[in-house]
Structure formats: C-alpha cells, structure tokens
Structure 1
Amino acid sequence: MGFKSKIKRFFELEEEAVELNQYEGEQYEEDFEEIEEYPKVKKKNNVVSLQSIQKNVKVILVEPRVYSEVQDIADQLKNHRAVVMNLQRVPRDQAKRIVDFLSGTVYAIGGDIQKLGDNAFLCSPNNVDVTGNISELFQED
C-alpha cells in the first residue's frame, strides 16, 4: 500500500466517522422529541411560609399548685409554646424545684427563662424571641 492510498484511506474513515456522528446526532434529537411528548410531572413545592409558622406561636399561662405539674409545663415547652408561670400558690421550696426543672428543660431545647416578677417567670422555646429586660424596674421600687 502506497502513501497516497493510506492518506485516501485515512480520509475515507474520517468521512465515515463524521457521517456516523451526524446520524447519531439526528437519532438523539428524535429521541429527545419523543421524550417531550410525555406529560410533564408536577414538582413538589418544599417552600414553607415563615408567616404561617409565626402565627402558630402560643403563650400558655400556668399557675401550678404542686411540683408534679411541672412535667405538663415542660411538655408545653417541648411543643414550642411559651409559658408564663405564676408561682404564688406554691410553697417556696417547691417553687425553687419547679424553676430548676424548667431551667434544665429550657436549656435542653435551646430556649430561655426570664424572671418577670417576684413569683412570675417566662419560659420560652427557641422559636420565640424575647427582647428587653424588666428586672431593672423591680430593683428601683
């Protein structure tokens, strides 16, 4: 085989490859057109409105009389509800145990506990933001 025939042969193979690629490209376009004919699937919308979440925030007012009621209060906090607690009707030693228990609960859920008055506390979960400090007013009186 001479040099000229090798070059001819090389270019013939190249032309066949180009023709083959063109055919495959047409085949892909036909396949794509067939796919477009299928009905389009609706995508799920995973977006949650923050306004709807804020509307569901509740504040629970409680006035426990015995230490055993503290678990119900902790359950309210676990359910993302803020709790305002009045401890006037509980003996001082039990009130201290209730505050200690709820302090641990609030810490575990990433919330906050604040003293509102002599016997009143606000326990809030992590989805409730509390700003300001009113304890200074009580110190002035």
Structure 2
Amino acid sequence: MSMKGKLRNIFGFDEDEYEVIEEEVTEPVAEEGKSKRKNVVSLQAVQKSSKMILCEPRSYEEVQDIADHIMNRRSVVVNLQRVDVQEARKIIDFLGGAVYALSGEMKKVGSQTFLCAPDHVEVTGNITEVMEDIDLDQRW
C-alpha cells in the first residue's frame, strides 16, 4: 500500500467516497443604466512624482541632456541667456522637434526663457512682455 493509501486509511477516507462536482461559473450581467467602467482608474492619472527641471545651457552640446529630461516626462524650463543667438536658435529648433515628437508643448515664458512640457502636463495662459528695448535681431 502506498503512503497516500495509508494516510487515507488512518483518517478514514476511502477512494470511493470522493465525488467530483463541477459547477458552471457565470459572469454577472450588468444592469442597464450602470456602467461597467465604474471602477477603472487610468494609470497615467496616477503619477508618483512630478519634477520641473531648470536648465541654463552654455553650448549646443547640452541640448541632448535637456531632450532626455523631456523624454522622461519631466517639464523643463530653459534659460538661454548664456548662449549666443545662433546657438540659442539651434537649441530651440532641436527642443521644438523633440517636444513635437512627444506630443508635448513649448511656450515662451520670457525674452530668452522657454518651457518645454511633455504631453501629460497641461500649460495654460499667456505671458506678454514689452519688447521695446530688445534689438530686433534677438527676437525669436
């Protein structure tokens, strides 16, 4: 006799006493007027932490690091006061393409300051500034 058989005999179970019962499982039918999606939560709505990155690049070589922050779903404020006009235009062109590719948004918040926001950040409002004292070549 096997070990299972000995244990069955000790506890008083015989193989003939077992009966397999199969039950049909049915899903509950939703009542009309009630939504099935009542308890669904969007994972995009639950963000553990949001970060705002402040960048002040000194050359065009730093633009890829800034774009990496945007790709990692972080908002970036870019201050271009420390670069010359030609490099600043290249930086803005590169970041504009990166933000567009990620369905984000880019807003000018100062004369040489830009906000690059990924798609999950909503940017509203406008900032107007007086451009009287600024040379026309420096306008973007």
State the TM bucket, normalised to the shorter chain: 0.5 to 0.7
Residue in structure 2 matched with residue 91 of structure 1 by the alignment = 84
Specify the code of the residue in structure 2 equivalent to 1:81.
R
Residue in structure 1 matched with residue 119 of structure 2 by the alignment = 126
Q: 1:61 aligns with which of 33, 54, 68?
A: 54
Give aligned pairs, total: 99
SS at match of 1:113: strand
Structure number with the higher helix fraction is 1
Gaps of at least 5 residues in structure 2 are 1-19, 26-39, 133-140
The within-5 A match list for 1:36-47 is 47=41
TM, length-normalised to structure 1: 0.62
Shift of 1:57: 1.6
Specify the code of the residue in structure 2 equivalent to 1:139.
V
Shift of 1:116: 0.7
Residue in structure 1 matched with residue 97 of structure 2 by the alignment = 104
| Residues 1:110 and 1:51: Cα distance change in structure 2 (over 3 Å) | closer
| Residues 1:104 and 1:140: Cα distance change in structure 2 (over 3 Å) | closer
Calculate the aligned-residue CA RMSD, in Å. Answer: 2.6
Note the alpha carbon deviations across 1:43-81, whole angstroms, 9 max, x for none.
xxx85566641x522110000000000000000000000
Distance across 1 between alignment mates of 2:122 and 2:69: 16
SS at match of 2:114: strand
Note the alpha carbon deviations across 1:1-20, whole angstroms, 9 max, x for none.
xxxxxxxxxxxxxxxxxxxx
Which structure has the bigger radius of gyration? 1
Q: 1:71 aligns with which of 51, 64, 75?
A: 64
| Residues 1:47 and 1:107: Cα distance change in structure 2 (over 3 Å) | same
Distance across 2 between alignment mates of 1:140 and 1:94: 21
Distance across 2 between alignment mates of 1:50 and 1:80: 11
